[in-house]
Chains A and B, each alone.
Chain A
């Protein structure tokens, strides 16, 4: 089941006073399945936040359609099952931590003892129990972020949007947030994550989308996106110099890099090596890091636009 579906979603910002128009999102098509952690990556101004705002009805599409939990995005009641942690969120400064959760819990349709219980559970989860009765204006950035996460989870939502959830959080806190997200995933919750921290996204997401200038460049699992399809590492058994002058690139660890056009060519190379009586220990498809792949993809896309 797709929990998010967008069809040709487009957002153009135009001003009545200025002639120029900004295309924040262009013909955006995406399906996100239930129970996955989906990471949306992109440089600043790529359209990541615009997409979330469109889905949540904070801003309206210029064209296209979208649905969440099989309901149209215009139906505000769908939000009963949605949690959202915006980037740079602001809470009423006169409220205490527990009161912030109570306020947003009540707006989410909760009340009474069940809400009070939920508030205590969440404050415990984000390690803010002892700050429950402190006004939020005294909170640090990291604490605000933790409170924001608790706020996003107050109604035990099916779909959770998190915009830079670890922003301002220390490394231990980040690990704790990752653990919380993994636990949510194990309960079949869907998490939609916007982040600049590629290494973190790589650690926790099931699927990743890469966005630039409002266009979805690629989408898939981290493995699919980082695999270099034409490059393999060959690890030979023992100290073997038979391939030293074969044209393959020798690595410092004694292994060899081969570039092939397709899988048939790779198998031909392996056959040749085996015919020479050389024992192969490993054939490893080469992978780039998500960061390398991201930078190369964005550069390619920029180059294509400039041409």
Chain B
């Protein structure tokens, strides 16, 4: 356990030595400052009358949560994109000749080494997302003096979404010893495949008449992590205090993550360097 923690901690250090994570922190700070300026000039009464859902005025605490979600939603998507970009090279970098030899000559098992890298990447993204979400939450909550603690669950849902994609990045990192394929696959799933499969089952479900095509879409839908739903519905439901409405996207994505990570560990334990 100590070995995993050491590797995790030094992965965090490695991450913060890279400019991209500092860029993300800088961007988050800027977003928090801009949010603070924007919400400071908003009038409570104007807000209450202007924000409606289905032509019904919302309660004030719901308005505050809506503002929080409006600000955080584009930022967390950007955060995931940056996190994929900056963490994709952790494993390939460790596997470089001269570096991996040193690590494997120490009394640490290969599984511990890989898990340390995995948890290190997760911890960095968790810190970044937590900084952003807590910052936005504090700015808005102190302005309106309404503290929606459920909003903080966004940190967990976003970190979990990243954890699923990062397991895939680690797998590709172990197999190819390069960051490119892992990064491209994660982007492809996050930006294209997952939203498309979700839409294929919901919005376009009625217009797809072929049973075979429906089966194909279903197969891939259950196979591929549901990042679109995790970052969308799940995050919103958690933020507004509804909790987890549908466990299926979480459990199937979790299964994907465990299989990808388990297979990475299996391959890493067999690999010659």
Contact = CB atoms under 8 A, between A and B. Distances in A.
B108 A13 contact: no
B218 interface: no
Q: Which of A83, A88, A103 neighbours the largest number of chain B CB atoms within 10 Å of its CB?
A: A103
Contacts of B101: 53, 56, 58, 84, 86, 89
B272 A59 contact: yes
A59 B97 CA distance: 12
Contact of A58 (B13, B104, B108, B270): B104
A118 to B, nearest CB: 15
Contacts of A53: 101, 273
Nearest to A75: B107
A4 interface: no
Contacts of A84: 101-102, 105
Contact of B105 (A60, A86, A95): A86
A91 B103 CA distance: 10
A106 interface: yes
Contacts of B17: 92-94
Contact of B107 (A58, A59, A92, A107): A107
A76 B102 contact: no
Q: Which of B7, B101, B102, B106 neighbours the largest number of chain A CB atoms within 10 Å of its CB?
A: B106
A104 B102 contact: yes
Interface of B is mostly: helix
Nearest to B106: A107
Contact of B98 (A79, A88, A95): A88
Interface residues of B, number: 24
A88 B104 CA distance: 15
Contacts of B109: 76
Nearest to B3: A107
Given A89-B98, A107-B6, A79 B14 contact: no
B43 interface: no
A45 B96 CA distance: 20
B100 interface: yes
B98 A76 contact: no
Interface in B253-273: 270, 272-273
A86 B14 contact: no
B10 A79 contact: no
A77 B102 CA distance: 15
Contacts, number: 75
A90 B99 CA distance: 5
A94 B13 contact: yes
Size band of the A side of the interface? 20 to 34
A57 interface: yes
A76 B97 contact: no
B107 A86 contact: no
A82 B104 CA distance: 11
Contacts of B99: 89-91
Nearest to A49: B101
Nearest to B269: A60
Contacts of B105: 56, 58, 79, 82-84, 86, 161
Given A92-B10, A107-B3, A107-B6, A79 B106 contact: yes
A140 B249 CA distance: 52
A109 interface: yes
A76 B108 CA distance: 7
Given A59-B272, A59-B273, A107-B6, A79 B107 contact: yes
Contacts of B272: 13, 58-60
Contacts of A108: 106-107
A89 B272 CA distance: 17
Nearest to A152: B105
Interface in B74-114: 96-109
B188 to A, nearest CB: 25
Nearest to B103: A107
A87 to B, nearest CB: 8
Nearest to B13: A94
Interface string B227-258: 00000000000000000000000000000000
A86 B97 CA distance: 10
B107 A56 contact: no
B107 A109 contact: yes
Nearest to A84: B105
A26 B6 CA distance: 38
A80 interface: yes
A194 interface: no
B106 A58 contact: no
Interface string A35-73: 000000000000000000100111110000000000000
A293 B7 CA distance: 46
Interface of A: 13, 53, 56-60, 76-80, 82-84, 86-95, 103-104, 106-109, 151, 161
Interface of B: 3, 6-7, 10, 13-14, 17, 96-109, 270, 272-273
Given A80-B107, A88-B97, 5 more contacts: A79-B106, A93-B17, A95-B13, A103-B6, A103-B10
6 contacts: A56-B104, A60-B270, A86-B98, A86-B101, A89-B102, A93-B17
